[in-house]
Amino acid sequence: MSDARAAVVHETDLPMLPTPDRAGRSRQPIDRTTGSHRLIQRVIHYPPGRTATLHHDTSEDVIYVVSGKGRAVADHDVFALESGGALYIPPATNYRYEVDEGHELLLVSVLSPPPAGAHERVGAGAQRGVGRGMAARSTGPDPPRRPPAATHERDQHPIPAGDDRRFKLLTDPKFGCRNVTQFLGTIERSRAPFHTHTYEEAIFILGGEGFVHVDERRVPIRTGTSVFLPPGVPHCLENTSDGVLRLLGVFSPAGSPADKLVD
């Protein structure tokens, strides 16, 4: 069993602070302050208009559109954005968001690996986990750079992960990702058995409510809650709502959401 502890961060636990270009607001529920070494989860709101150019030298960015409508312009590609859409931005890519009039774009972004200074708290006008300056990790020759890519949850086939659970793969190594897998999960009213994973996992609850059972705790979860699960920590999710519990998961290293060890 791992010595690391899970973290549960509710929507009201962190303030929304200005993004570096002041175009929107964001909070960062999961990073080194919550024990994560491979992932940074950010929740970002953009009002109508255009953002400044964004760039991460060495971090992949996997993005899910919770609500809103607009476009992402990445290098020379333009991707339509709407609820349920997913976007993969490779390292060293210039990109920006253009939000349609009458809409506010709500995004969940996960960076991996974390940029330099990712453990620091947000200061006035600064954003943890955004910017340049992290030295690249030397692990041998890099594969050819893959372009940005987009998909939508409606186009992905649901894969069973138990009698009452399904997931859809959104972004994984087939897109060129080296570090992460992004998926959408659904859980019927039930409680899973305790299990562990070999990867770090960042979860965002998209709908429903229930509990996460971890570290001998039973912690409520609801729409907008973020959950960080370290590798090797026994845990399970319980859906106590009348409908389906929907969650967005990103984990690193990349793999299959169905891979688990049941206690």
Q: Are residues 155 and 258 in the same domain?
A: yes
Nearest in space to 43 (alpha carbons), one of 173, 153, 202: 202
Instruction: Judge if 98 and 164 occupy the same domain.
Output: no
Same domain, 104 and 39: yes
CB 186 within 8 A of CB 165: yes
Question: Could you tell me which residues come within 8 angstroms of residue 111 by beta carbon, excluding any fewer than 6 positions away?
Answer: 39, 40, 42, 56, 59, 60, 61, 118, 129
**Per-residue pLDDT, 151:** 96
Q: Which CATH number goes with the domain that contains 69?
A: 2.60.120.10
Asked if the structure places residue 37 within a domain, the reply is yes
Tell me, yes or no, whether 199 lies in a domain. Answer: yes
- Among 72-81, 123-132, 196-205, whose mean pLDDT is lowest? 123-132
Residue 193 domain flag: yes
What is the domain extent for residue 20? 15-115
Task: Look up the pTM and report it.
Answer: 0.88
Q: Per-residue pLDDT tens for 45-103?
A: 999 999 999 999 999 999 999 999 999 999 889 999 999 999 999 999 999 999 999 99
In a domain, 256, yes or no: yes
Q: Does residue 138 form part of some domain?
A: no
Backbone angles phi, psi at 3, to 5 degrees: -80, -15
pLDDT in tens, 9-29: 999 999 999 998 899 999 999
Are 127 and 114 in contact, with CB atoms under 8 Å apart? no
62 and 157 inside one domain:
no
In a domain, 167, yes or no: yes
On whether residue 8 sits in a domain, the answer given is no
Q: Do 258 and 155 lie in a common domain?
A: yes
Assigned token pair, 162: 């138990």
Please count the structural domains in the chain: 2
- Whether residue 41 lies inside any domain: the answer is yes
